[in-house]
């Protein structure tokens, strides 16, 4: 190794803004199995597939259709 390096012509990593942020997320076993199955078919790691799917949902504005029953409705049923 050199005692000193010259970084005067160095430039910033152009991909630094695209780096992924590690997070902890709890997923049910069925969802993990589904994406692991897709991973085996496609040869793409399952975490990358989950990321691609979530990225597509965000890009297309997909929203879940959640309908919560109120306490009054539950008691009457």
Nearest to 27 by CA among 10, 8, 50: 50
Predicted pLDDT of residue 47: 95
Asked if residues 75 and 69 have their Cβ atoms less than 8 Å apart, the reply is: no
Question: Alpha-carbon distance 63 to 72, whole Å?
Answer: 26
Q: Tens digits of per-residue pLDDT, 34-59? A: 999 999 999 999 999 999 999 999 99
Please write the tens of the pLDDT for every residue from 11-30.
988 887 778 888 999 999 99
Integer Cα distance of 28 and 17 in angstroms: 31
- Which among 25, 52, 24 is positioned nearest to 38, based on CA atoms? 52
- Residue 63 tokens read as 């929203």
* Maximum average pLDDT range among 5-9, 39-43, 68-72: 39-43
pTM score, two decimals? 0.63
């Amino acid at each position: 190794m050199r005692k000193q390096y010259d970084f005067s012509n160095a430039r910033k990593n152009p991909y630094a803004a695209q780096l992924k942020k590690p997070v902890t997320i709890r997923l049910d076993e069925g969802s993990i199995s589904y994406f692991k199955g897709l991973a085996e078919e496609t040869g793409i790691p399952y975490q990358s597939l989950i990321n691609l799917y979530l990225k597509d949902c965000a890009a297309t504005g997909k929203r879940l259709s959640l309908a919560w029953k109120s306490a009054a409705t539950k008691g009457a049923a």
